[in-house]
Amino acid sequence: MKREIIVYIIRVLLLILFLYAGVEKVFRMDSFYRDMSNQPIVKSLVPIVTYMVPLGEIIAAGLLVFDRTKKAGLYISWLLMSVFTGYVALVVAGKFPRKPCSCGELISKLSWTEHLLFNLFFWLLATVGIYLTMAVGKHKDKPTEGEMVRISRV
């Protein structure tokens, strides 16, 4: 039961993060496109990435809502946070000549190191969520110790 509550809290936190980030990017799509154009990625990929990032964030948020799709939502969350965290880690390591931030309003106020810690926190949440979801699934059908005692007395 405790694991399920922890997974629920993780899902809610990731849902809030991705819904906010995805919807904000959609509402400021022109600005987000310009920001993505300044990123160190192949220019022909900018239109695709501009639409895929907010779409992925909104899909992850939607999947996290329902119990039947929570595992897929956690995996997509983990994948998104892995990519975002990897990018920010490269920025912090000085691997890019310029450091444009296409982040949301709140996150853009963080330093790159703070942004890395923020991303690592949510990456860790997604990782723990996946682990606990797998653990809950393994132990769901097993009887508890109290149930075993009752079964053995019958």
Stronger pLDDT, 1 or 112, i.e. the higher one: 112
Residue type, 78: W
3-state DSSP: the chain helix, strand, coil percent, rounded to 5?
A: 80, 0, 20
Residue closest to 112 by CA, chosen among 138, 149, 84:
84
In this prediction, residue 39 has a pLDDT band, given cuts at 50, 70 and 90, of: confident
pLDDT (0 to 100) of residue 110: 87
Q: Please answer whether residues 58 and 22 qualify as being in contact, where contact means their C-beta atoms are separated by less than 8 angstroms.
A: yes
Q: How far is CA 112 from the centre of its chain?
A: 18
For residues 118-125, average pLDDT: 98
Q: Kindly state the percentage of the chain with pLDDT values over 90.
A: 65
pLDDT (tens digit per residue) in 72-116: 999 999 999 999 999 999 989 988 877 777 677 778 788 889 999
Identify whether the C-beta of residue 42 lies closer than 8 Å to the C-beta of residue 84: no
Please choose, from the candidates 40, 58, 37, 59, the residue with its C-alpha nearest in 3D space to the C-alpha of residue 48: 37
Judged by phi (left if over 0) then psi (alpha if -120 to 50, else beta), residue 94 lies in left
Burial class of residue 145 (count of CB atoms within 10 Å of its CB; 0-12, 13-18, 19+):
exposed
Looking at the chain, which runs of residues are DSSP E strands?
none
- 123 pLDDT above the threshold of 60: yes
